[in-house]
Amino acid sequence: MEALKNKILNEGTVIGSEILKVDSFLNHQIDIKLLNEIGQEFKKRFAKNEITKILTVEASGIGIACIVAQYFNNIPVVFAKKHDSTTMDNNAYEAEVFSFTKNKKYKVRTSKKYINKEDKILIIDDFLANGNAALGLIKITRQAEASIVGVGIVIEKAFQNGRECIENEGIKVESLAIIKSLIDNKVVFK
Ligand code: G4P
């Protein structure tokens, strides 16, 4: 997706050789025009699929998923919660996720009320690195016996193995910008 690639080249900053910071349009300030184009592009890529809900994980996934959902007939967005909260339903699906970026484990939880076996789920997230967040959402969807239509990612880092892990589960991955390397502060697309 050209507009996204240009935005990454113009505004992204590289940290070390593995992290791309995109706070000016995706992870802190949000570019709504670009998110609408992202929504249209996901709609194109999953045009042939019936989708009943979008599943994502807090925090950055939520804004993206909400705009994307508008291009899929305003279907509901469900986000997995990462933090314990007194208002969280105890009757929940749960999966453990290991974050390489943060070097720690956390749990993702979704109330059983909001995903059921009739659902056809599109998983949406901002980044695909090692795939652990997406795999957590896949586990939750499978616990609910819902079907998974695919995983839609805004920025994939192809030098990490997230895509392989998800495809090994038999699930389609669609990424809008695929980064081959981030060496010497340079973003190289695949
Ligand atoms: P994984 O899910 O693909 O295995 O990735 P990992 O555990 O390494 O990533 C943990 C967090 O860091 C996720 O966000 C993920 O989206 C984000 N992340 C991974 N690589 C990059 C990168 O190159 N740049 C940026 N900006 N983020 C990256 P999170 O902790 O869940 O954050 P948030 O959604 O709460 O903001």
CA of 129 to the centre of ligand 1 (A): 7
Q: Please state, rounded to an integer, the average pLDDT across all residues of the chain.
A: 96
pLDDT digits (tens, 9 = 90+) for 42-101: 999 999 999 999 999 999 999 999 999 999 999 999 999 997 776 777 799 999 999 988
Atom of ligand 1 nearest to the CA of 61: 34
Q: Which domain holds residue 133?
A: 2-189
Nearest atom in ligand 1 to the alpha carbon of residue 127 is: 16
For ligand 1, whether the C-beta of 59 sits within 6 Å is yes
162 C-beta closer than 6 A to ligand 1? yes
- Give 159's DSSP letter: T
Q: How many domains does the chain have?
A: 1
CATH number at residue 184: 3.40.50.2020
20-45 b/e (C-beta count within 10 Å ≥ 16 → b) = bebeebbeeeebeebbebbbebbbeb
pLDDT at 86: 67
> What would the DSSP string read from start to end of 51-75?
--EEEEETTHHHHHHHHHHHTTTT-
How far separated are the first and last CA of the chain, in Å rounded?
12
pLDDT of 105-129, one tens digit each? 999 999 999 999 999 999 999 999 9
- Closest atom of ligand 1 to CA, residue 133: 2
Interval 148-178: pLDDT, tens: 999 999 999 999 999 999 999 999 999 999 9
Look at residue 90 in the predicted model and tell me its pLDDT: 79
Rounded CA separation 171/168 (Å): 7
Kindly report the pTM of this predicted structure: 0.96
